[in-house]
Structure 1
Amino acid sequence: MKIYKGISGAEGISIGTIYYFSKIKNNEGNLTVGEAIVKAKEKLRKLYTIAKDKLGNDNAKIFEAYDMLLNDQAYISPIIDAEKIGVAPCEAITNQSNKLISLFENHKSEYMRQRSDDIKYVGDLLIDCINGNDDIFDIPENDKIILVAEELTPADTLQMDKTNIVGFATLRGGSTSHTVILAKSLGIPAIVGIKDLNKNLNGKNAIMDAEKGELIINPEEKIINHYKNKLMEEKRKRDIINSFNNTVAKTSDGVRIYVLGNIGNIEDVKNNTLDNIDGVGLFRSEFLFSSTNIKPTIEEQIISYSTVIDVLHPKSVTIRTMDIGGDKKIDYLDMPEEDNPFLGNRGIRMCLLNKEIFKEQLKAIIISASGKSVKILLPMITTVEEIEIAKKIIKEVQSELTVPYSKKVSVGMMIETPSSAINISSFVKYCDFFSIGTNDLIQYITASDRGNEFVSNLYSPYNPAVIKVIFNVIKVASENDKEISMCGDLAATTDMTALLLGLGLKKFSVPIPIVNMLKYTISKINLKEAEKMAKKILNTEREGEIKAIIEKFNAELNI
């Protein structure tokens, strides 16, 4: 028995036979770079359509991003110029790709390192098009296969027959890679970054424990039995979780808790059972602006917003205005490079600098909700003045409209910066509601980039400062009768649900696939006991002790 360690990608357990996957490459092509670009674009359009049909619009955007790279003259022009002076097409592509990859692959940010994988994929795609390499996936028809490879591209993951595949394991890749994202959407466990994977593993029996990041080769009988029991327990738990479909969330002592959904586009509401959520707590409108190379028209925005509002009515819909900047760039906006974009021109700052686009979005939202109510959520607010300016613009928009529009517009803000959290007692005078965005809030409070491997351990929801800030925000908002919810990753982390309930949170907004799991977790928690635990944690100074208290509480409830 041998255990290979890697990085947990998509969690889960699987038992099967190793199949080592590799592609056969042809190196004798005769297309020009221009012809290869046309062919690559055609292939990406097909992959986009497949991904959108099978996995939804968000996952399909991966292939749009690749297509945008093929339009990026900073990448393409040097390749074409090299070809013109006699450099072989494949060599020109390789040279330019390697040049850009070297700029990104050692970047401190995991997000930027991921861009090097994108460039490598597009370069390999162009070379395959030149050489006439077609994607052929000869997957054996074994019962259960754990597919092992040096690397898997999103196209590989999407196109291969996954009927018998129960796990992916790769030598390369990081936890935020596009392949991992697709594996999560497909519900297939995945481990990446496993060193020493090789063809000699082909045909061997194996167990994948993706939560631990372990691939166990030739496991002993007692290990096999242990994991078979775990799989049976997981299935039993899944059946219980599924029984919470279309029910309201309540704690074990009968307190009503509200579970809303996070969405990014109209496909999310078309493809899910909306009776299962208490409304939409976060409509990420920026996807409307980033999914194409041109600005969406008011009419296009109205179609998206009104579809969601109409389908959900009379439940509430909260639309966050475009949260652009940081790691989210838009080609048609003037967005100069910034040394530290996460502390730069993003969120409401970007909206106020692009006032006409901001007004168009507000107009579309308000028209979409004609005869109904709608909530407008403003991102990255740090000052009272920003709220005042934004509310003034909303009133301007309403006064300019000559068509029916919503008279019931609530205005709220994200609590995602230390300044907004510390100054919450002032903001309650200007806002109708608040939503805690824990991803940025934790990053700013701990001064740590979660994508930076050198400090990612400091990015922790167990940090006492993070917990005290969240508690105070909930307390002040509740005392002033303002609705307070949480829409960040922490809301969907069920290990933390008991603590959040104990801190006073009564409204969670999470990805729709998490909803039943969260309801199940809430049903096992006694609110009064959770409040006792939270009080103890608020008086605890060390992260390790806080984590231990939470783990003990959860273990006693079998959460």
Structure 2
Amino acid sequence: MSGSIVSRGIAIGRVMRIEPYKPVGLIKTEDTEGAKSLLLKSMTQTSEELNALVDKTRENVGDHEAAIFEAHLMILSDPTLLPQIESIIEHDSLSAASAVESVLSSMEDMFKNLDSDYMKERALDIYDIKKRWVKNILSPTDNNISLSSGVILVAEELTPSDTLELDMSKVEGLLMEKGGLTSHTAILAQSMDIPAMVGCGSLENLTQNTMLILDARQGEIILDFDDKILSDYQKLKEEEAKEKEALKRFVDVKGQTKDGKRVEIASNIAGIDDIKGVHENGGEGVGLFRTEFVYMNRSSAPTEEEQFKIYKKIVEGLKGKPIIFRTMDIGGDKEVPYLNMPAEPNPFLGFRAVRYCLQDKNLFKAQIRAILRASAYGSIKIMFPMIGSIRQFLDAKALVETCKNELKSEGIKINDVPLGIMIEIPSAAILSEEFAKYVDFFSIGTNDLTQYTLAVDRQNESVSELYDYFDPAVLSLIQHVIKVANKTKTWVGMCGSAAGDPLMIPLLVSWGIDEISMASSQILKAKQIVSEMTLKPIEMEQIMACYDAKAVRALFT
């Protein structure tokens, strides 16, 4: 058995199955007024529970995760929802539970049938609300599931509220038959540092209290094991814990090789809650702030003032550490319903990121002005995603200049803000020497660069084995960009997944990269690798002679 890893680590424990929601079906009632009264009462209870979850999640996990349940509240408070359910009760004489299930199941199916993987994942939000609301109609005083210590939760698909209402301090690991890498439960598992795998397929043989080993490093679920295997994994788990503890000695160490090559080791963040991880892990700054998350889980776009307050708080929270703001990368796998972007057959190749921003200049200006205003409080750079031509960069730069002039005329203080681009489209990598004449810096985004170079959808499981940034073609482009940057004295960093890969780091440093930016949890290991290495030439001829990514990896293993 195997699945997709969403949070790395080893878990050993007994299975605790969370059974899926059981549909109530079509239950008729003659007391439609009583059904409507029960509907309102249960809706109020559901709203109160969600508000309590928002507060609990914000306190224990963070604002970004709390926004999940704020989105649930927005769905619940949709003014069209209650009349729609009441209408079914009246016209079809359905019970309150059946009517709620009917309406929300239709909404759930609608999201499941959308092309976007991100929007498909949002069907789980509707399912979560449905399950809670129906439970409050049928059994409003039911207690939550209680857990014993040392369990591995197994479910068809855990909802976000399942995860947060359980006592996760007793949970060793998570396994889901369904779910994707962008699901809310995946995000929460990462936040809580619980080993987790999703998309595992049927787990029917994992019966209650079955003892198992979850290896969420290799992507394996181990059932049939003897005392020797168990002992080996217990030792690995202990070693993993000791290694994490030992790495803390690098918190205050700057990234530098034995022979003096300086490499900034920074964090990727999505919001204010991630700042704590930057400091705790010794991040030297933020190499990627994914600003699109400010736009998500909302019913309308954030105003300039709202964005300014968020950005200012983040910049001040970094206490002088530098930060690179990536302008909103909306589209692809990150959709924002209120922007009414057109459905596309190939969204990753379509109307996304800077392509969209340059069309909706009012939306773009609000973000740029907010970032520029926040520059007065710290060290900020701005980079534009999905730049494929010099003209696109110049158009984006012109808009920044317009915003600067407006703010200065309004008497608002701003600092100098360098402008750079994500190198994630092969055309930008190929033309990097030309781009160097205009930009202040490069940041290589390996996630998209890999899928565009290899023509492999990084979310398509059928071709997942082809998606590998160690492919000779991808490495050739990366090395070319770094070589150009060094030649033209253009600062160059990397903020894609490859930047935190222990196998990739020595390669990047030897080629002359200035910065690598990754998940905060990867920083201490990266610092260890850099501090223990010396620069040595790596010949591209050796890499290009390899016939695939697997062969390249073997060179450096």
TM category, shorter: 0.7 to 0.9
Deviations along 1:303-340, one digit per CA (max 9) or x if unpaired, are 22223333445432221222222232334434233333
Paired with 2:483 and 2:210, the residues of 1 have a C-alpha distance of 56
For 1:525, the equivalent position in structure 2 comes to: 533
Q: Structure 1 residues 409 and 80, CA, compared in 2 at 3 Å: closer, same or farther?
A: same
Q: Structure 1 residues 84 and 367, CA, compared in 2 at 3 Å: closer, same or farther?
A: same
Paired with 1:100 and 1:291, the residues of 2 have a C-alpha distance of 17
Contact 1:141 1:164 in 2 (8 A): yes
Q: Decide which moves more: 359-368 or 304-313.
A: 304-313
For 1:544, the equivalent position in structure 2 comes to: 550
Q: Out of 242, 245, 263, which is 2:248 matched to?
A: 242
Paired with 2:447 and 2:83, the residues of 1 have a C-alpha distance of 37
Q: Structure 1 residues 203 and 458, CA, compared in 2 at 3 Å: closer, same or farther?
A: closer
For 1:124, the equivalent position in structure 2 comes to: 131
Amino acid of the residue matched to residue 445 of structure 2?
A: G
Deviation at residue 547 of structure 1 after TM alignment: 2.1
Q: Decide which moves more: 385-394 or 84-93.
A: 84-93
Contact 1:415 1:421 in 2 (8 A): yes
SS at match of 1:324: coil
Q: Out of 73, 95, 98, which is 1:91 matched to?
A: 98
Q: Decide which moves more: 129-138 or 20-29.
A: 20-29
Paired with 2:277 and 2:541, the residues of 1 have a C-alpha distance of 40
Paired with 1:416 and 1:72, the residues of 2 have a C-alpha distance of 38
Instruction: Report whether the alignment pairs 1:187 with 2:193.
Output: yes
For 2:444, the equivalent position in structure 1 comes to: 436
Instruction: Report whether the alignment pairs 1:510 with 2:518.
Output: yes
Deviation at residue 99 of structure 1 after TM alignment: 4.4
Q: Structure 1 residues 34 and 322, CA, compared in 2 at 3 Å: closer, same or farther?
A: farther
Deviation at residue 258 of structure 1 after TM alignment: 0.7
Instruction: Report whether the alignment pairs 1:257 with 2:254.
Output: no
Contact 1:413 1:434 in 2 (8 A): yes
For 2:11, the equivalent position in structure 1 comes to: 14
Q: Decide which moves more: 208-217 or 150-159.
A: 208-217
Paired with 2:203 and 2:442, the residues of 1 have a C-alpha distance of 48
Q: Out of 336, 341, 345, which is 2:347 matched to?
A: 341
Contact 1:26 1:132 in 2 (8 A): no
Paired with 2:164 and 2:75, the residues of 1 have a C-alpha distance of 20
Q: Structure 1 residues 73 and 390, CA, compared in 2 at 3 Å: closer, same or farther?
A: same
For 2:370, the equivalent position in structure 1 comes to: 364
Instruction: Report whether the alignment pairs 1:59 with 2:56.
Output: no
Q: Structure 1 residues 296 and 20, CA, compared in 2 at 3 Å: closer, same or farther?
A: closer
SS at match of 2:382: strand
Instruction: Report whether the alignment pairs 1:462 with 2:470.
Output: yes
For 1:478, the equivalent position in structure 2 comes to: 486
- For residues 7-406 of structure 1, the aligned pairs below 5 Å read 7-22=4-19, 30=35, 36-70=42-76, 79=85, 81-86=87-92, 88=94, 89-99=96-106, 101-102=108-109, 105=112, 110-133=117-140, 136-142=143-149, 144-194=150-200, 197-198=203-204, 201-217=207-223, 219-270=225-276, 272-273=278-279, 276-312=282-318, 314-370=320-376, 373-401=379-407, 402-406=410-414
For 1:411, the equivalent position in structure 2 comes to: 419
Q: Structure 1 residues 17 and 328, CA, compared in 2 at 3 Å: closer, same or farther?
A: closer
Paired with 1:102 and 1:487, the residues of 2 have a C-alpha distance of 36
Contact 2:278 2:285 in 1 (8 A): no
For 2:434, the equivalent position in structure 1 comes to: 426
Deviations along 1:124-177, one digit per CA (max 9) or x if unpaired, are 2332233244563443544x2223344422111111112322122344434443
Paired with 2:108 and 2:361, the residues of 1 have a C-alpha distance of 36
For 2:501, the equivalent position in structure 1 comes to: 493
Contact 1:434 1:483 in 2 (8 A): yes
For 1:556, the equivalent position in structure 2 comes to: none
SS at match of 1:537: helix
SS at match of 1:339: coil
SS at match of 2:250: coil
Contact 1:145 1:167 in 2 (8 A): yes
Paired with 2:531 and 2:402, the residues of 1 have a C-alpha distance of 45
Amino acid of the residue matched to residue 386 of structure 2?
A: M
Q: Structure 2 length normalisation: TM-score?
A: 0.88
Amino acid of the residue matched to residue 430 of structure 1?
A: Y
Contact 1:411 1:433 in 2 (8 A): yes
Paired with 1:356 and 1:107, the residues of 2 have a C-alpha distance of 28
Contact 2:277 2:520 in 1 (8 A): no
Deviation at residue 433 of structure 1 after TM alignment: 0.7
Deviation at residue 112 of structure 1 after TM alignment: 4.6
Q: Structure 1 residues 135 and 384, CA, compared in 2 at 3 Å: closer, same or farther?
A: farther
Amino acid of the residue matched to residue 15 of structure 1?
A: I
Deviation at residue 191 of structure 1 after TM alignment: 3.4
Q: Decide which moves more: 363-372 or 74-83.
A: 74-83
Q: Decide which moves more: 285-294 or 233-242.
A: 285-294
Amino acid of the residue matched to residue 130 of structure 2?
A: G
SS at match of 1:495: coil
SS at match of 1:290: coil
Paired with 1:436 and 1:353, the residues of 2 have a C-alpha distance of 24
Amino acid of the residue matched to residue 7 of structure 2?
A: A
Paired with 2:252 and 2:433, the residues of 1 have a C-alpha distance of 36
Deviations along 1:193-239, one digit per CA (max 9) or x if unpaired, are 44554598333433222233433346311112111221222123212
Deviations along 1:236-277, one digit per CA (max 9) or x if unpaired, are 321221221121112244422111122222232256427822
Q: Decide which moves more: 220-229 or 50-59.
A: 50-59
Q: Structure 1 residues 472 and 32, CA, compared in 2 at 3 Å: closer, same or farther?
A: farther
Paired with 2:280 and 2:15, the residues of 1 have a C-alpha distance of 39
Q: Decide which moves more: 459-468 or 367-376.
A: 367-376
Amino acid of the residue matched to residue 342 of structure 1?
A: F
Paired with 1:514 and 1:498, the residues of 2 have a C-alpha distance of 15
Contact 1:108 1:451 in 2 (8 A): no
Deviation at residue 358 of structure 1 after TM alignment: 1.9
Paired with 1:459 and 1:199, the residues of 2 have a C-alpha distance of 31
SS at match of 1:156: helix
Q: Structure 1 length normalisation: TM-score?
A: 0.87
Amino acid of the residue matched to residue 300 of structure 2?
A: I
SS at match of 1:406: coil
Please tell me the root mean square deviation across aligned C-alpha atoms, in Å.
Answer: 3.1
Amino acid of the residue matched to residue 9 of structure 2?
A: G
Percentage identity across paired residues of the two chains:
36
For 1:555, the equivalent position in structure 2 comes to: none
SS at match of 1:494: coil
Q: Decide which moves more: 421-430 or 329-338.
A: 329-338
